[in-house]
Structure 1
Amino acid sequence: MPTPHPPRARRLAWASRNFRIQTAATVISGLGNAGAPIATAFAVLGNGGSTAEVGYVTAARLLPTVLFLVLGGTLADRLPRHHIMVAANLFSAAAQAVLAALVLAGTVQLWQLLLLSAAGGAGYALYSPAAGGMIMQAAPQEHAARAFSVFRMSQNAAQIGGAALGGLLTTAVGPGWVLALDALCFLAAAALRFLLEAETAPAPTGGGMLRDLREGWQEFASRRWLWVIVLQFAVLVACVNAVEAVYGPAYANAYLGGAADWGLAMSAYGVGLVVTGLLMVRWRPRRILLVGNWGVFLFGVPALALAVHAPLPLLVAAMFLSGVGVTVFGVNWMVALQQEVPEEMFSRVSAYDELGSYSLAPIGTALAGPAAVALGLSGALWACAGLCLLLSVAVLIDPQVRRLSRREPRRSTADAPVPADEPAPAP
């Protein structure tokens, strides 16, 4: 007789070795990464810096991310992705270790914060497209929604623990130790990713990197639903980064209990990510981008809560709802990319996606401080909340966003992708 409950190993048979290793490494690096922005922001504030300087340091990290993402995507479609991820993790570990040493010594200066934050951004730019291509390839398409939900749940669980631990450690022992922990997490993640097996995806043929860049751009630009969403996120990410990296810490420092309270709020965001991930394991909405965009409506809720000077419990609830929205969008977005983009183009299209989405983030964070001076902190927060709501409505004008539907997995790599001007019909 068959057993009523199959063994866990059988239930997780769809999770390949690479998927498991990459997920575990992402959790480890995520623990450090969730606390590092809190530590960096309070390192600036604790050193006598202003809200504007917090924005400048955040922008310094984002600028090289924007500049080098396309290069990272091209390399990731030409070279073994796991080698690129290991090298990027080691580079980031070194940058965070130096920053931690300077903060612990009490000698850190603004130019050093800017330079080392920029180094971290460059490391991320090389890592992210390779990581995106690896996880899309490691997830079987027939189990894509389940795989991406499990991956994001694991990633987001690290966000909860990392943000809470980062906030508490920043308050208890200072930001330098949180940055040192981030460096150790990068080292551990690099050691795990060293064990990843080489992918079987075909390397781009002939023509050099310029041809690869052009082919990636053509693949990206040929799908209107893709670049419409990316244009939406160019502004959304700038607003959300300004709220989470600049306005949130400044508000917590002035009106709440400082780093510990902001860490609690960020943990609630992580809880929203994980709880919704459990739902997304089984939920397979037909209109993947339409449903995903309903989640985007929640992105501006934290800015709204801060704008009305909500007490900590309401701010925690707002951050939770924001996490719900991010997971609803994120899982459906990954399903859409894996379904519509050829495997050999994953990393390049992912790079153009992130490039567009982050393109305004350095400007947004750099201007966050001056905007708070000009409009007042509440006025700047109202502007962020309003933009998030407006863009969530505007993107639904495009019929491809509304109609792009889940379809059966491609049976072979020879299957033709959906034409750019004709989203897949609803089943």
Structure 2
Amino acid sequence: MWRGQQNSGNGRPREPLSRPSWAGRNYLLLTGATVIANLGSSGALIATAFAVLASGGSATDVGLVAAARTVPLVLFLLIGGAVADRLPRHHVMVAANALSCVSQGLFALLVLGGEPRLWQMAVLAALGGTGQAFFAPASEGMVLASVSGEHAGRAFAVFRMGMNGANIGGAALGGALVAAVGPGWVLAVDAASFAVAGALRAFLDVSGAPVRTRGGGLLHDLRDGWQEVASRPWLWAIVLQFSLVNAVISAAEAVYGPLVAEEHLGGPGPWGLALAAFGAGTAGGALLMTRLKPRRLLLTGTLCVFPLALPSAALAVPLPAAGLTPLMFGTGIAVEVFAVTWMMALHQEIPEEKFSRVSSYDWLGSLAMVPVATALAGPLQDLIGRTTALWCCAAVVVLLTAAVLCVPEVRHLTRRAPAPTVTSSVPASPRDKAEDPDHSL
């Protein structure tokens, strides 16, 4: 894929370092911006929790600040998707990055200044969640729209490798920096990362993007997006599936996992290692998808959802840390295969001018039930016991995934040959097209 400056063995240097032909200017800008932003954000998640605790807050207060970010994210997702289909998407992304930069910058100043109050931290977290609600639908599909159809799968997999690597590295670096210099400076780094990411996205070349007519009002766009989802059984079935799958997995990992680790695995160290193995697995899955081009996108992806039941089952046993860690790595690989095939299917099947509003329903389905499940996890454990609750989480994943396989479109939707022209919101620049002899979409 990448070629380095090396000696060929006969005294002549090999070709100099160069980028793949499919990695055009827009693709590199989008990928670089995402890596930078995720490096900062992953560390900021840790810094936020420790900032609350350092101000005298309790574990409940940490949860309240986290909820303050999640609630506006859920509330504004659909509006964010409709707005991104009415305005230039890169403008929405830059504006959302600017809002996140301001909120995190003020958060950093508040923490560095002395004694932040809980309501102040909650308000700033809510501003960050609002920015994410507008950014997420606008950003979906942008990477795939920046490369030719033939290389879309590989390009998205490489993009995911960078994103997942940034998440892992950002969390590790953020934890170390919180310990070394305090949470305030980590939040300041996050604000700076949003500023740099927004600046990179501002340089996207959208000169060849198709003109999108605004049509009716915002409510009309929301209804239109829902009709697009409802008219495709494969789409609403998988969105409904993951509204519950994400919820039970979050409950298992966020609530039950630390408790099992404390009682049976040896504490937070082995549990942290298992979570790190999951992150490494996602990077491995992305690497795998740079080579694989499954013909039946949704069938391949859905089959890879079954392994998501394994961590809950392993915690129910409970499996020793030596067995849990490689299992989490394999689960990470499976998750990433699904992620790539799912985005490929969306990009292939959803009209470009409606992509963001459809994506907003996907995001809403993925997030809406998570706070409910994590809130109910404790009472459910008290009612039926932790082991039974974990087996129920695993059963939900298996049963819902099996039900989705009953939808004919999920089993039969196939990868189509790329069309001969590009119609995208972030097209490759003319220079990139000229450099790529295989350019087509």
Give the TM-score taking structure 2 as reference length: 0.82
1:30 equivalent to 2:38? Answer yes
Q: State how far apart, in whole Å, the 1-side matches of 2:281 and 2:415 are.
A: 24
Equivalent of 1:302, from 311, 318, 321? 311
Corresponding pairs, count: 409
Equivalence map 1:18-417=2 (5 Å): 18-41=26-49, 47=56, 49-50=58-59, 54-103=62-111, 107-171=115-179, 173-198=181-206, 200-248=209-257, 256=266, 258=268, 263-372=272-381, 374=383, 378-411=387-420
Q: State how far apart, in whole Å, the 2-side matches of 1:60 and 1:389 are.
A: 32
The Cα offsets for residues 149-186 of structure 1, whole Å up to 9 and x where unpaired, read as 11111111112212222344445555444433322322
CA 1:365 to 1:175, structure 2 compared with 1: closer, same or farther past 3 Å?
A: farther
Amino acid at match of 1:239: V
Moved more, 60-69 or 371-380: 371-380
User: Deviation at 1:20?
Assistant: 0.9
The Cα offsets for residues 86-106 of structure 1, whole Å up to 9 and x where unpaired, read as 111121122233334445567
CA 1:20 to 1:302, structure 2 compared with 1: closer, same or farther past 3 Å?
A: same
Q: State how far apart, in whole Å, the 2-side matches of 1:358 and 1:271 are.
A: 23
CA 1:53 to 1:262, structure 2 compared with 1: closer, same or farther past 3 Å?
A: farther
Q: State how far apart, in whole Å, the 2-side matches of 1:248 and 1:97 are.
A: 33
- Maintained 8 Å contact 1:234/1:360: yes
The Cα offsets for residues 223-262 of structure 1, whole Å up to 9 and x where unpaired, read as 110010000010112223334444445666776554x665
Q: State how far apart, in whole Å, the 2-side matches of 1:128 and 1:6 are.
A: 39
- Maintained 8 Å contact 1:38/1:249: no
- Maintained 8 Å contact 2:148/2:422: no
CA 1:110 to 1:305, structure 2 compared with 1: closer, same or farther past 3 Å?
A: farther
- Maintained 8 Å contact 1:60/1:118: yes
Moved more, 111-120 or 229-238: 111-120
Amino acid at match of 1:225: W
Q: State how far apart, in whole Å, the 1-side matches of 2:313 and 2:108 are.
A: 33
Q: State how far apart, in whole Å, the 1-side matches of 2:143 and 2:417 are.
A: 20
User: Deviation at 1:367?
Assistant: 3.2
User: Deviation at 1:222?
Assistant: 1.2
Equivalent pairs: percent with the same residue? Answer: 53
Amino acid at match of 1:96: Q
The Cα offsets for residues 356-384 of structure 1, whole Å up to 9 and x where unpaired, read as 22221232233344445555555544433
- Maintained 8 Å contact 1:60/1:362: no
Aligned counterpart, 1:424 = none
Q: State how far apart, in whole Å, the 1-side matches of 2:121 and 2:388 are.
A: 28
Cα root mean square deviation, aligned: 3.1
Q: State how far apart, in whole Å, the 2-side matches of 1:265 and 1:101 are.
A: 34
Aligned counterpart, 2:432 = none
Q: State how far apart, in whole Å, the 2-side matches of 1:329 and 1:372 are.
A: 30
Aligned counterpart, 1:425 = none
User: Deviation at 1:32?
Assistant: 2.1
User: Deviation at 1:317?
Assistant: 2.5
Equivalent of 2:24, from 16, 21, 24? 16
Aligned counterpart, 2:426 = none
Moved more, 355-364 or 335-344: 355-364
User: Deviation at 1:44?
Assistant: 5.2
Q: State how far apart, in whole Å, the 1-side matches of 2:295 and 2:131 are.
A: 36
The Cα offsets for residues 91-142 of structure 1, whole Å up to 9 and x where unpaired, read as 1122233334445567345444443332222111100111114223213222
CA 1:310 to 1:163, structure 2 compared with 1: closer, same or farther past 3 Å?
A: farther
Give the TM-score taking structure 1 as reference length: 0.84
Report which of the two structures shows the higher radius of gyration computed on alpha carbons. 2
Q: State how far apart, in whole Å, the 2-side matches of 1:298 and 1:109 are.
A: 42
Consecutive unaligned residues of structure 2, counting only runs of 5 or more, are 9-13, 424-441
- Maintained 8 Å contact 2:381/2:389: yes
CA 1:57 to 1:252, structure 2 compared with 1: closer, same or farther past 3 Å?
A: farther
Q: State how far apart, in whole Å, the 2-side matches of 1:178 and 1:382 are.
A: 38
Amino acid at match of 1:343: E
* Secondary structure of residue in 2 paired with 1:300: helix
User: Deviation at 1:288?
Assistant: 0.8
